Homo-oligomer: A and B are copies of this chain.
Amino acid sequence: MTVTLSTTADLAIDETAADLLFRAARTTNQWTDAPVTDDELAAAWDLAKFGPTAMNSLPLRFAVVRTPEAKARLVELMPDGNKAKVEDAPATLVLAYDHNFHEHMDTLFPHAPGVGESFAPMDEMRHGMGSMNAHLQTGYLIMGLRAAGLAAGPMHAADYDGVNEAFFAGTGNKAFLVVNVGHAEGEGTVYPRLPRFDLDEVSSTH
């Protein structure tokens, strides 16, 4: 297993974009002093929001954590190894899926009127559909953040119940991931790139 950078087919995006979004982008924990502005987050979201989800369910929600008070609340709920990472980042996103995503489906998916209501009693199904599709959207969001010139550092909290209480009280949002965001200092990390699978190691042809 090696890290293959070159490919034989031409890309439809330029090398700068391919490097920035995929090849040179790293999980970041070293940041410049530049803040993360609302405009930058809007630019990232206004790309990421277009990624497809099942029945256009769009269950991803997030809290943007920037003030020292809110940072301190979040740090308490992180594992020891991730506390300093949250403290150091210009902004930290707490990602959640909305367990009540079905309430918006008459608007989001007008082809199937009433489908949201039919999901209301299906608690376990909404957990699965919400969680899976929010993870899909997280892939789009990380790409959207990079496209907006930001770097991302995804990691896990230690206490997601506590996170829900601190940032999503009174909502159906269930936190599942924490993502530091900012402008990368240099490569954004001192860790060397870990191995990746090549195509023939993950796929079969039929």
Query: Which of A's residues lie within 8 Å of B, judged by CB?
Result: 1, 4-14, 16-18, 20-23, 25, 27, 37-43, 45-52, 54, 56, 58, 60-67, 70, 107-110, 131-133, 135-140, 142-144, 146-149, 152, 154, 156, 167, 176, 194-199, 202-206
Judge whether A14 and B11 touch: CB under 8 Å: no
Judge whether A22 and B5 touch: CB under 8 Å: no
Judge whether B48 and A22 touch: CB under 8 Å: yes
Per assembly, the copies of the chain total 2
User: CB within 8 A of A62: which of B42, B196, B202?
Assistant: B202
Residues of B within 8 A of A167 (CB): 204, 206
Residues of B within 8 A of A38 (CB): 199, 205
Least CB separation from A200: chain B residue: B42
CA distance A42 to B137 in the complex (A): 23
Judge whether B107 and A66 touch: CB under 8 Å: no
CA distance A109 to B193 in the complex (A): 10
CA distance A23 to B46 in the complex (A): 8
Residues of B within 8 A of A27 (CB): 52
Taking A139-B137, A203-B63, A205-B66 as contacts, is the C-beta distance between A11 and B107 under 8 angstroms?
Answer: no
Best-buried of A67, A142, A204, A206 by chain B (most CB within 10 Å): A206
Least CB separation from A50: chain B residue: B22
Judge whether B9 and A20 touch: CB under 8 Å: no
User: CB within 8 A of A14: which of B14, B146, B197?
Assistant: B14
Judge whether B199 and A42 touch: CB under 8 Å: yes
Judge whether A9 and B21 touch: CB under 8 Å: no
